[in-house]
Amino acid sequence: MDLKELKISLEEDIKSCSNLEDLEKIRVKYLGRKGLIKEYFKKLKDFSSDERKSAGKTLNELQERIKSFIEEKSKEFEEKRKPSIDLFIPGRKSETGSLHPISIVLKEIEEIFTGMGFEVVSGPEMESDYHNFEALNISKEHPTRDEQASFFVEEELILRTHTSPVQIRVMKSRKPPVRIIAPGKVYRVDPFDPSHSPVFHQLEGLYVDEGVSFAELKGTLEIFAKEFFGADTEIKFLPSYFPFTEPSAEVAISCAICKRKGCSTCGYTGWLEVLGCGMVHPRVFENVGYNTEKYTGYAFGFGIERMAMIKYRIPDIRLFYENEIDFLEIFK
C-alpha cells in the first residue's frame, strides 16, 4: 500500500464511520502500535532522503488528521449515545406510614359498637372536678381524687382520670334515648412499667332509655367480646363497685391465650378482667336532670391498650409509645 492508497483508505474509513465502535477501529487500524501509520514510518528508512522528507510530512499530516477526527467525533458520538432521560437510574424508595396499633384497635372496636347502634362522641381531656368526680357521685374522700392519683392543673381542674365525665356531658346536653361510646386519652399518676402508663386510652359506653336492663348490658358486652376476641370467647360478670353505677360489675373474658387452661398471662386463673360496668346510679341521673322513674341505663368503660395487648399478645404497654419502627411495622 503506497501513501496514496493509504490516504484513500483513510478517507473511506472516515466517511463510513458512524459510531464510537467505528472510531475505535480507525484508531487501532491507523494509530495502533501495529497500525498503518507506524508501519509506514518504519518503512521511511528505505526511502531516499528527499522522498523521506515529503513522505514524512504527509504521514504527519495524516496522523494529525486522524487524531483531530477522533477527538471531534468521539465527543459527538458520546453526546448522541446519552439518552436525555436515564431510564435505568434506580428509583428513590419512599417510606409509607401506617396507622398506630391503638388507632387500628380503636377502629375495630368502634365498628363493632356502631354496628349495634352506638354513636361515637368525645369530650375534653382537661376536665372540671365536677364532671370527673362530683357529678359521677365520687365523694371528696375517694382515693382517685388524691393528688397522688390525679394530675391537677388547678384546684378544680384536672387531666381526666377516666372517660366517664363524657357520660355527664352527653346526658346534660341531650334527652334520652342516648347510646354513645366515647374513646380518648386519660391520665393517672401511675408508674411507667410493663402494665401501666400515666397516659393511656379508655373507651366509655353509655345507653339510657326507658326499660334498659342489665340483661341488655350483658348481651351487648358478650357480642362485643366475641366479635373482638373471637367467637369462642366466654365472658363472666363479677360483682364490683363504682360510685356511679349500681349494681356494678367487673367483666372477665376467657383467656384468649390458654383458652382457660391457665397460663402466665391470666395468672393461671383462665380469666382476664377487662372492663368495669354497671347500671347508671340514680344519683347520676339526678345530677344531669334525668327522670329516675322513667329511665334506666347502663355504662361501661375499658382500657384500649389492654384490649390490644390481649388480642395481639403485646407483652409491654410501653411498646405503644416508644415509636419503635420494628414494632409499628407489625401492624402495617
Q: Closer to ligand PHE by CB, 9 or 144: give it.
A: 144
The residue assigned the cell 339510657 is 208
Helix axes 3-16, 49-81, angle to 10 degrees: 10
Q: Report, in Å, the least distance between residue 99 CB and ligand PHE.
A: 25
Is residue 287 close enough to count as binding ligand PHE by CB under 6 A? no
- Which DSSP string do the residues of 21-40 spell out, in sequence order? HHHHHHIIIIISTT-HHHHH
Is residue 290 close enough to count as binding ligand PHE by CB under 6 A? no
Is residue 277 close enough to count as binding ligand PHE by CB under 6 A? yes
| Contacts of residue 173, Cβ cutoff 8 Å, sequence gap at least 6 | none
Binding to ligand PHE by CB under 6 A, coded x per residue (else -) over 172-211, reads --------------------------------x-------
Q: Closer to ligand PHE by CB, 40 or 133: give it.
A: 133
Q: Closer to ligand PHE by CB, 69 or 228: give it.
A: 228
Please select the residue that binds ligand PHE; options are 158, 300, 304, 308, rule is CB under 6 A: 300
Is residue 132 close enough to count as binding ligand PHE by CB under 6 A? no
| Contacts of residue 171, Cβ cutoff 8 Å, sequence gap at least 6 | 178, 206, 208, 284, 285, 288, 290
Q: Closer to ligand PHE by CB, 70 or 132: give it.
A: 132
- Which DSSP string do the residues of 130-175 spell out, in sequence order? HHHTGGGT--TT-GGGSTTTS-EEETTEEE-SSSTHHHHHHHHH-P
Please select the residue that binds ligand PHE; options are 299, 308, 317, 319, rule is CB under 6 A: 299
**Cis amide linkage into residue 177, ω under 30° from 0:** yes
Residues that bind ligand PHE (CB under 6 A): 162, 164, 204, 242, 245, 276-278, 299-301
